[in-house]
Structure 1
Amino acid sequence: MAGTDVHPSRATQPDSIRAYRWWAPAELCSTRETVYPVGLADLVTAVAEGRTPDKPVVLAG
């Protein structure tokens, strides 16, 4: 996926998006910024470590 593939207008609340960028898993885990969906950092870290979920994961908004 390229950065040009990101469309904030498709977000459920596009008016609350101040910026967007790609994050490394460690950055997601350590940031003080608000990141949605809640639980994204843990899921990305697990997948990056090869721990893929057995079933689909629903992340809270």
Structure 2
Amino acid sequence: MALGPLLAERDQQHHVGGQLVRQVERYYLARVDAVDPAAATQPDQIRERRWWTTAELHNTTKTVYPLGLADLLTGLAHGAPVRPVVLTG
């Protein structure tokens, strides 16, 4: 798998085990054939996995993180952003 361009970033602070931590996430474009949930670094935190179309992401009533993911994917129709999009939530 080749990693594509950096699309977005998200910077969050939250508590883990009573300690305030800063979490920085970077989202890259990647094309894959399959995803193996057994290879996840924290499989106990995975509640569900599935492939979503952009339309499904726009129309779901579920909370999907990062917030703004559907809009980011819709924007890819015009190519990768010149600078990474800053996501919140």
Match of 1:46 in 2: 75
Match of 1:36 in 2: 65
- Number of aligned residue pairs: give it: 58
SS of alignment partner, residue 4 of structure 1: coil
**Paired AA for residue 78 in structure 2:** G
Which structure exhibits the higher relative contact order, with contacts defined as CA atoms closer than 8 Å and separated by 6 or more residues? 2
Match of 2:83 in 1: 55
Normalising by the residue count of structure 1, what TM-score does the alignment of the two structures yield? 0.67
Gaps of 5+ in 2: 1-31
Counterparts in 2 of 1:58 and 1:21: CA distance versus 1, 3 Å: same
Q: CA RMSD in A?
A: 2.7
**Paired AA for residue 64 in structure 2:** V
Normalising by the residue count of structure 2, what TM-score does the alignment of the two structures yield? 0.50
Counterparts in 2 of 1:7 and 1:28: CA distance versus 1, 3 Å: farther
Counterparts in 2 of 1:6 and 1:55: CA distance versus 1, 3 Å: farther
Q: Which of these two proteins has the greater Rg computed from alpha carbons? A: 2
